[in-house]
Amino acid sequence: VPGFTAHAAPQKVDIVAHRGASGYAPENTMAAFEKAVKMKADFVEVDVQMSKDGELVLIHDVTVDRTTDGSGHVADLTYQQLRKLDAGSWFGSEFTGERIPTLDELLDKYRGKTGLLIELKAPWLYPGIEEKVAEALKKRNMHKPKNGKIIVQSFDFQSMKTFHQLLPQIPVGLLIYLPQDLTDEALIKHSHYASYVNPSLNLVNKDLVNKVHTYGMKIQSWTVRNPEQVQPLLDAGVDGIITDFPDYVPRNLKRK
């Protein structure tokens, strides 16, 4: 395998398709999730926000402008308004007609078929979103997964504390981009409720991975968009690689 150094012991690493296989299909659409599953990603990562009338929808930006043919804030649009938007043509004409999916659709379609890394995006804009996501999982009896294949993550630590209290058996992850959130002191605090520390890839090294493991947590890193970014993360020993291109991670290292 190109880029695989002979001296490195084979390791298990989860391949996480970022917003679905978003290098190949429009992010956070069924087309991207389907592609990720076909590519045998271990997890599909999605971003959850809430429509004006309380529907949980999958979209990354807090406005619809970049990834649809509409404009405005997700929070100001009803589900009916959001559903009319085309979420595929911006990426390529063959994806015309892709819609903004709901969390319900994702859970119904993929439960048991792939791991799900569910990000609560800007949860401070959507009071009560933690309860709603917890309800969606509970309703389907997905709140006590035995295989750890459902993870909820956010940049908002308080939101993850809340979520952990609501559904203690769902592992929560903290998305981190500041070194100050990776000190020993910070990691100890995180370990009181978080199962994953998920930093931006420029912050990752072997030392950090060892520390995160010492404090009883796992580490997934983001966002690989270039094949050269893979090997340093494997060398550092991360548990998961979050990437737009699931095929950039050598298959023989995949977690079974």
Does residue 156 interact with Ca ion by CB under 5 A? no
| 192 catalytically annotated | no
Strand 240-243 and strand 115-120: pairing?
unpaired
3-state secondary structure of 31: helix
Smallest separation, CB 47 to Ca ion (Å): 5
Pick one of Ca ion, ligand G3P, none as the site partner of residue 175 (Cβ within 5 to 8 A by kind). ligand G3P
3-state secondary structure of 246: helix
| 190 catalytically annotated | no
Residues that bind ligand G3P (CB under 6 A): 18, 45, 47, 60, 119, 175, 222-223, 242
Active-site position among 7, 18, 164, 190: 18
**Is the C-alpha dihedral spanning 205, 211, 212, 217 positive or negative?**
positive
Number of residue whose CB is nearest ligand G3P:
222
Round to the nearest angstrom and report the end-to-end CA distance of the chain: 18
Token digits for 198? Answer: 């998920």
Does residue 47 interact with Ca ion by CB under 5 A? yes
In the bound state with Ca ion, the residue whose beta carbon lies nearer, of 103 and 211, is 103
Q: Would you call 213 exposed, middle or buried from its count of C-beta atoms within 10 A (0-12, 13-18, 19+)?
A: middle
Smallest separation, CB 62 to Ca ion (Å): 12
Ranges within 185-224 binding Ca ion (CB under 5 A): none
Smallest separation, CB 219 to Ca ion (Å): 16
Cα–Cα distances in angstroms (integers) from residue 178 to residues 84, 89, 143, 204, 210, in the given order: 38, 35, 30, 11, 18
Site string for Ca ion, 102-131 (x = CB under 5 A): -----------------x------------
Active-site position among 7, 60, 73, 164: 60
Pick one of ligand G3P, Ca ion, none as the site partner of residue 223 (Cβ within 5 to 8 A by kind). ligand G3P
In the bound state with ligand G3P, the residue whose beta carbon lies nearer, of 155 and 237, is 155
In the bound state with ligand G3P, the residue whose beta carbon lies nearer, of 10 and 125, is 125
Smallest separation, CB 18 to Ca ion (Å): 7
In the bound state with ligand G3P, the residue whose beta carbon lies nearer, of 78 and 226, is 226
In the bound state with ligand G3P, the residue whose beta carbon lies nearer, of 82 and 175, is 175
Per the rule left: phi > 0, alpha: psi between -120 and 50, beta: everything else, 250 is beta
Concatenate the DSSP letters of all residues of 132-175 into one string. HHHHHHHHTT-SS-SS--EEEEES-HHHHHHHHHH-TTS-EEEE
Cα–Cα distances in angstroms (integers) from residue 142 to residues 133, 151, 232, in the given order: 11, 11, 34
Q: Which H/E stretch holds residue 221?
A: strand 218-224
Does residue 98 interact with Ca ion by CB under 5 A? no
Smallest separation, CB 18 to ligand G3P (Å): 6
Catalytic annotation, residues: 18, 60
Question: For binding to Ca ion (CB under 5 A), which residues are involved?
Answer: 47, 119
